[in-house]
Amino acid sequence: MKEDVRFIYEQVDKHHEWFSKSIPMIASENIISPLAREMLISDFHDRYAEGAPGERYYQGNIYVDEVEIRTEKLAKKLFDADYADVRPISGTVANMAVLMAFGGPDKKITSVDVSSGAHISSAPFGAVGLRGMSPITYPFNVDDMNLDVDGTRKMILEEKPDIALFGQSVFLFPTPLKELEDVFQEVGCHVWYDGAHVLGLIAGGEFQDPLKEGVEVMTGSTHKTLPGPQHGMLLANPSSDEARDKLFWSVFPGVLSNHHLHAMAALGVSLAEHMDFGKEYAKQIIKNAKALGQALYERGFDVMCSHKGFTASHTIAMDVREYGGGETSVEAMEEANMIANKNLMPWDDVDSAQEPSGIRLGSQELTRLGMKESHMDEVAEFIKRVIIEDEDPKKVKQDVEEFREDFQGIHYCYKEGMPAHKRFKFLNK
């Protein structure tokens, strides 16, 4: 009914207006560029393209094929990979494809524990469990927020997994892959890296290069530090032709049919933009994250890994048990127009996911809006006022909105200047 359509439009407009006045710090989100956004409302959205370019099960894909071939080439060039698949419709779907290719009930997999920052798709209740596998989790060094290298080496040698999975959702520092590479070779396992959070940093040359450090296949979503559409990607240096074929067929028909052609085209635009802007963008993301960690630490927050500079990525993690825990903290922040998420900490039980000890903050969207290190000091002060000083969030909200007025453009892309929420309205007139 027409009133239902009107209601939905009103809610979306309210959302855009709210976020244009907010400080967005969800580590798994970002803003797509104006050029890439136009792909999402193109006719590609309405079409189907099962299979591979030149070998479709549907007609009408002449130009779709050209876009997909170019996007795949961009992915291989940007990540210096031998193989790329830009069909997965999300990071989790890309993960499911790897599990389809190399996993199964008769296979053994090792991974980071969810409480230590791993993504839920690697858990027994996620994609790994769906394939009938129970992950064996690596020893974790809480002080350094990274793997215990000696313990992990020993575990891999003892367990001899078919798949060794690495990567996190609370991803503060590079995984010690080089230190484990000889173990991978000795065991002969498939080495898989879920780089969803750090793909943009990797492509910008500012984190680590997993495919040069013993990793066979890297998966990820494409809308975090890589500021593209909500989509997925699979990159690999396959260990054999058989492995390459398994990866290809595990994507289609293994875990998807049509692959959201509008998002694939938007990914191509985003990859091209990252070629030109990615290095500068990645550098500033990390500078801002470090500055935010330092500013929060100086204001009394228990920011993880102060002895290591807090982070080497876009993410910082804070223990806020002293202030009522993660849920209480992020709810107060939201009232003040600061958007973050509660997060499990290594000492939390997975069952406490709704009431965890910590919160996770990301700098990638703030950076995309044009913020620099000095602005992180102001952001930290807003957070302190709400969480430590227990100031009325509505009062802080007024100052947050005034602060955000200066940051309305989208940076590190080919078209800058027009606010995302206004461009959305413009494109839909």
pLDDT band per the 50, 70, 90 thresholds, residue 347: confident
First-to-last C-alpha distance (Å) of the chain: 20
pLDDT at 9 over 90: yes
Mean predicted lDDT score pLDDT of the chain: 92
Q: pLDDT (tens digit, 9 = 90+) per residue, 294-316?
A: 999 999 999 999 999 999 999 99
Q: pLDDT (tens digit, 9 = 90+) per residue, 100-111?
A: 999 999 999 999
Q: What is the pLDDT of residue 36?
A: 96
Q: Which tokens is 357 given? A: 């000890």
Over residues 49-58, the mean pLDDT reads 93
SS3 82: coil
Q: pLDDT (tens digit, 9 = 90+) per residue, 144-176?
A: 999 999 999 999 999 999 999 998 889 999 999
**What are the residues whose beta carbons fall under 8 Å from the beta carbon of 268, sequence distance 6 or more?**
39, 67, 70, 71, 74, 86
Distance CA 400, CA 15 (A): 16
Whether cis (ω within 30° of 0) applies to the bond prior to 161 is no
Over residues 395-414, the mean pLDDT reads 97
Q: Which of 307, 215, 231, 220 is nearest to 267 (CA)?
A: 231
Taking a C-beta distance cutoff of 8 angstroms, is the pair 208, 199 a contact? no
Distance CA 366, CA 373 (A): 10
Q: pLDDT (tens digit, 9 = 90+) per residue, 323-345?
A: 999 899 999 999 999 999 998 88
pLDDT at 128 over 90: no
pLDDT exceeding 70 applies to what percent of the chain?
Answer: 94
Q: What is the pLDDT of residue 54?
A: 94
Distance CA 254, CA 142 (A): 37
* Residue-range domains of the chain with CATH: 36-272 (3.40.640.10), 277-427 (3.90.1150.10)
pLDDT at 346 over 90: no
Question: How far is residue 345 from each of residues 113, 125, 167, measured CA to CA in Å?
Answer: 11, 18, 16
pLDDT at 117 over 70: no
pLDDT at 114 over 80: no
Over residues 375-388, the mean pLDDT reads 98
Distance of CA 76 to the CA centre of its chain: 19
What is the per-residue DSSP string for 388-417?
TS---HHHHHHHHHHHHTT--S--SSSS-S
83 phi/psi in degrees, rounded to 5: -140, 140
Q: pLDDT (tens digit, 9 = 90+) per residue, 239-281?
A: 899 999 999 999 999 999 999 999 999 999 999 999 999 999 9
To 5 degrees, how large is the angle CA 345–CA 194–CA 282?
A: 85
Q: What is the pLDDT of residue 169?
A: 85
